[in-house]
Each structure stands twice: as structure tokens, then as C-alpha cells.
Amino acid sequence: MAHIPKLLSIAGSDPSGGAGVQADLKTFSAFGCYGMAAITALTAQNTRGVTASYPVALDIVAAQIDAVLSDISPDAIKIGMLATPDIARAVAETLARYKARNIVLDPVLVPTQGISLASAGLETALAAALLPLARLVTPNLYEASALTQTPLAKNADEMAAQARLLCDAGARAVLVKGGDLEGEPVDVLFEAGERRIFHGRRVQTRNTHGTGCALSSAIACELAKGAPLIDAIAAAKAWLEGALEAANQLRLSEGRGPPHHFYALWR
């Protein structure tokens, strides 16, 4: 029998299904993987924005992760919204005990619409506790700026400089996502002293809610299958472009809907 990759999402909940744990589980399924989840925060959000956020108690977050890892060994782990510095440290301590591998950290700090999803000091806790555990860190322009405490990058050179700073802080590899750049979107990967630029194609759609969650989860799926990092990123980006192109088919609301995670399966 073929091996079915197993992935764990550690993230917040989005009741509208476009981001967070719900988006991660959809992405895992779209890539033919078995998905599991440990919820770090409850949010009230939809396609129009985030209106409330409530962190889960530390012992419950750690217990969820422990329950999974003590029974099932994931091939990759995707970390999203952690909400507070204490949760970030608790997650790091639990993962380190199990020597978890193929960790993809998507440092959720500020949503495009609505209230903040991170309390004060989270950037410092992420850098100290989780960067050294991650196989890949995937900040967007705003998150890379916050994590490095440098101005917002305006081009690929500045993105690479921020990625290098995060690698110097302990990350093995960093992919700074440039979807918010003017003109052609580019993502910049920095690993082992080398940078690589991934050129993208801008898809004209308002339905971009949860794209960061989807991309990082897709990369984690490919890593779980044994793909090299560069190939995993390329495959994830190609899938996400297709999901964005098909997003209008969902016809959810007049807000910013999510990508169509199952565009290749729902015919």
C-alpha cells in the first residue's frame, strides 16, 4: 500500500473556513494527505474580517499536540496563528520533546482586515523559540518587517536581506512572500547563504483570504512527501495560482473569499 503522508496543523480556528486550521485541513486533503489539528485560538471572522479572537489555554494547546505526537508521527507540521508569546513557547517546548521534523512556520501576526491576531511580544517569542525548529519560515512582507524590526521591503533585494536576518536568527530557510508588492509578485527564498527568486503570476481576484495559510500548508504537504524544498515551493505556488483562478466559482459572499482548495477535485 502507498504511504499516505500525515500532517499536523497547529493554528487558530476560522469559522468561515477560509483560513487557519480549516484552510490547512482542506489543503492537506487537496494534496492527498491525512490532516490533524491542534487549535491555538478561537476567532470570530469571515470574508469581511476578524472581529474577535480568544487564545486557548496553554495546557490545552500543549495537551492537543501531545495527544497527537504521542500516538501518530506526522511527516510534516504546519504552524500558523499562535496568538501569544506563551503559546509560542509552549508549542516549541512540546515539539522539541518529540524532535518533530519538517516544520513550516507561517508567522501570523496581522490580518489583512480586522483586529490583530497577535499579542505584544509574539515576534520576539517566535524568533527565540520557533525559528530554530522550523525547516521553513514563510512571512509576508509585513511579518518579515515585524520579525526583523526593519522597514517594509519594497523589492527582492530588501526581501532577501530580511530573509538573511531571520536565518542569522536561527531559521534554516526563509521564504519572504511578495504578493503585496507592486507589479509582478515575487517570493524570495534564502537558505544556506543562497537566495532564490520565485516569479509568480498575479491572479485578478478579490478572493485571497487565507492564501498564506494555503501556501505554507501546501509546501508542508510536499515536504511530507519527500520533495526537496525548492520543488515543494514551486509545486505549492503552482497549485495556489490554480486555486486563486478558480476562487470565484465558490460564490460565497461579497467579501474576500478564500482560494478554491479543491479546484482540481471538484469538477
| CA–CA distance, 264 with 31 (Å, rounded to integer) | 10
| CA–CA distance, 158 with 38 (Å, rounded to integer) | 34
Angle at 138 between CA 132 and CA 141, to 5 degrees: 120
| Cβ neighbours of 266 (radius 10 Å) | 10
- Enumerate the active-site residues: 177, 208, 210-213
Asked whether 232 and 223 are in contact (CB, 8 A), the reply is yes
DSSP secondary structure, 96-147, as one string: HHTT--SEEE------SSBS-SS-TTHHHHIIIIIGGG-SEE--BHHHHHHH
Amino acid at 242: G
How far, in whole angstroms, is CA 58 from its chain's centroid? 21
Point out which residues pair with 140 in neighbouring strands. Answer: 177
Cβ density class 117-154: b for 16+ within 10 Å, e for less: bbeeebbebbbebbbebbbbbbbbbebbbbbbeeeebe
